[in-house]
Amino acid sequence: MSAELQHYWLFLDDQHRQIEQLIAGLPPEALNWRPMEGEGEATNSLAVLVTHTLGAERFWVAEVFGGQSLSRDRDAEFRVSGLDAAALRADLAWTGSLLRAVLTGTPAERLETSVTARERTVTRRWAVLHALEHTALHLGHMQLTAQLWRAARRP
């Protein structure tokens, strides 16, 4: 693995560890709670945020960057409910293994090659960096959601 791809992997792995620490010990009620219910202004639960984040990582890293053919149902990521920490940890572990294999198995020379994703042409490097950025954004959402859940439970 090139030094650049190694750095990308280490960043993703660190974000996964932060997500795992965040959800550890939280009951299903917390993982499936939404700060704002309803349509339009509704927010996502921790379970939705984790599921969507990992789905996006698999899309951008495994499919777009790595050329693997996975079937993603993006809309279904936003409908998940009733998940517990064990299910989310299993998804984190599986996605982490997949991304590590893709990143370690790809020569650095492919980073500058172009691919088409969602009707636009990007480099493979852009696809990985976009996954990193997207994961970091949603990790922040997860942290805020967990803080709001804890605050709502205080007497």
Assign residue 71 the CATH number of its domain.
1.20.120.450
- Model pLDDT, residue 41: 64
CA angle at 139 for the pair 97 and 35, rounded to the nearest 5°: 130
Cβ contacts of 49 within 8 Å, gap of 6 or more: 138, 141, 142, 145
For the stretch 3-44, pLDDT in tens is 999 999 999 999 999 999 999 989 999 999 999 877 766 899
If DSSP codes are grouped into helix, strand and coil, which group holds residue 35? Answer: coil
The number of folded domains in the chain is 1
Does pLDDT of 120 surpass 80?
yes
pTM, rounded to two decimals: 0.94
For the stretch 135-144, pLDDT in tens is 999 999 999 9
For the stretch 49-94, pLDDT in tens is 999 999 999 999 999 999 998 889 998 999 999 999 999 999 999 9
Residue in 58, 13, 50 with CA at minimum distance from that of residue 142: 50
Range of the domain at 117: 3-153
| Residues 36, 37, 38, 40, CA torsion sign | positive
- Half-sphere exposure of 151 toward its Cβ, with a 13 Å CA cutoff? 7
The answer to whether the beta carbons of residues 46 and 146 sit under 8 Å apart is yes
